Structure 1
Amino acid sequence: MKDAEAAPTPVEQDDIGQVAHDVGLTALGLRREDQFDQPDAVDEPIPELNLTPGAGDPLDALSKFYRDITRVPLLTEKQEIELAKRIEEGDSSALNHLIQSNLRLVVSIAKPHVGHGLDLLDLIQEGTFGLTRAAELFDYRKGYKFSTYATWWIRQSVTRGIADQGRTIRIPVHITEVIGKIKKTQRKLSQDFGREPTTEEVAMSVGMDAERVSLLLQRSRPAISLETPKNDEGLELKDIIPDPRQNVWRELESTLLKEDTMDLLARLDPESRDVVVRRYGLNGEPSETLDNISRTYGVSREHIHKIEDTALTRLEEIINTSPGLRAAFVDEE
């Protein structure tokens, strides 16, 4: 019987660890002794990386980083499984191996987000945090490839980084993702129509109310500092405009969360949905006790409790397997 294909054995290598340090990835705890042996790099042209002007030294660091990560071969499915098993056993070198073998995926996901408030180096760092989380949580038993699973974590981490750091006013990450979907639809419709689409056309394509689409697009514009002089006398915007306290974002986030909750509950059977809605007061009414609901159905309290437990387990499964819903309901640290 042929031996199972094993992951490459970790040995010392200087380059990748040094470059990871250069681009600020030392937060991952990558150690030189955790690197693995690779053949000499083949000279290949470095793809043009669309950094913002004036990046200076970071461009050199990024170019070196890109060269070095391309020296790390992609893993086979068997190697991914072997590393995942070792990670479950607490093998940190296996975790680093899986991360390093997928850094190219981070770059490919981060690059389209340049110009949204963070430069490419920062986006790569944010994406690498997501990649690390994916490597820690990957369950090879579910049958999908690691890159498929990691893509959602990387994308969410990049989006969250933009929302948290790229603006003076923090936009909730879930709303940032909705805005991204709207803008992507705008660009596609512009290409299809040969003109700028109307708000109504965009709203129809994304399945949202036109008024909400308009509000999201207005609120997504870059913030202007209240310290910016308004005229030659030094009058500042903060002297004229009252502080909105971000109430609009909180209200909008609450509305979108309610819509997501209703969409989620719609996936349950009518009886389970009714029990969950009444137990947690999701219909705007006070939450009800198990005894009260059981009397309505003419069954035992334990029976209603079982329906509730089964429904909540089902909802958790739906959330965990749907990246969009996970972004809405789970605050990943």
Structure 2
Amino acid sequence: MGILANEQHAARSAPTDSVALFLREMAATPLLSRDEELAFARRIEAARVAGVMQFARHPAALDELASIRREIVDGKAPPSSYVFGFSLDEPDAALSDGIAQGGVEGEDSPERQSALMAQLAYIEQAADTLREAIGRAGYGSLAYRRARRELQARMGVVRFTGRAIERMAQAFSRHGAATSEPVHVDAMSVEAILPRLARRIGNQLAAIDRGAQQARVSLLKGNLRLVVSIARRYNERGLALADLVQEGNIGLMKAIERYDPARGFKFSTYATWWIRQSVLYALGDQARIIRVPVHTADTLSKLSRVTLDHVNRVGGVPTHAALAKKMGMPLDKVRELTNIVRDPVSMETLAAPGSDATIGEFIADDAMPTPEELVTAHRMRRAVTAAIEQLPAREADVLRLRFGIGVADEHSLREVGRQLNLSAERVRQIEVRAFERLRGEPGFARLKAYVSAGGH
């Protein structure tokens, strides 16, 4: 059976219409050649660099970049949240093979992170030099042009993440321009030129973003078959095919954002790793009895990769000290992570040798109401029923439907109106009158006391 026939068969057997629609769209999308993938990837990368070059011209974006660096230095965010790596890295066979075969440890190494932090410091120094040139000589001066070229060269070396670019863009937008007049840099103050400069940069950024978005969509559509082919391998393992495809698409989008065409390996090879990781992460999260935070799960995934790499190379399980050195983290943190990945104890395990009681019998069920809560709820239901029975029939019916008293669900004003053949406004008026009448009833004070005590 050919590829197209397989896709059509999967569409017919898919559990949801959304999967069938997705597979039909995928079947109608032509495959991309390697040259086409490379062209789209280069367009995206060029747009990223061009956008960063524009941000280097505006103080607000530079101030935001300085804030990002401070967050990283203070330990509030990992460098990988804002920086992928260096744009000017020479294609390295060992690093390329490592990433292509299932890892990005080279990008997470302490050496790489130190180099990135140093480059961010150089960028901040260059930005300070640019500000001094603007204040001393003004826009358009020789000192300004030299400082700007140096800053752009520094920023062009770093591959910023979409999150970093978005933050700089938002900072820039908050200082947007109010005029479309051309910029004249001779003999103008900083206060006068900034709004016009912002308007000009904003127009250029919009054009850059449109081109990059078109390339992203083309690269995404051209690799839908890859997502489905990987998702199918993990079908019937706890998640529906629709969910697996969705998770795979998330991985594909991450690959599109992170892929560096200068590295030399195929995009589809790089994307395969990210798609598979996204699918496996979703399956693992579904199967895990004890949930862990996302950032912890990412660290656990890296711990697993480092351990497996050590086993393959050395032939034995690494010690905690070896893992701590390899991952660049404290020994206590590695021990803590190792404890997390241990198998959980079953709730059916006997509490003690020779005992008939299980561990689960000694764990409180927070979802189960206490006897006091059950009694309070029962009394409140009786009080509510008694109060509503004192109302005229139509007012009682409106309150029962509106608040789900004695019926399955609560209803909106419009839904109640349809059932009682009334307008929504008329239902609201009846509801208001019913509450006014209830406030005058002798039992209202007791009902209010139950509600204040925490009844439902």
Q: Per the shorter chain, which TM-score range? A: 0.3 to 0.5
Larger radius of gyration: 2
Q: TM-score, normalised by structure 1?
A: 0.41
Q: TM-score, normalised by structure 2?
A: 0.32
Higher relative contact order, structure no. (Cα contacts within 8 Å, ≥ 6 residues apart): 2
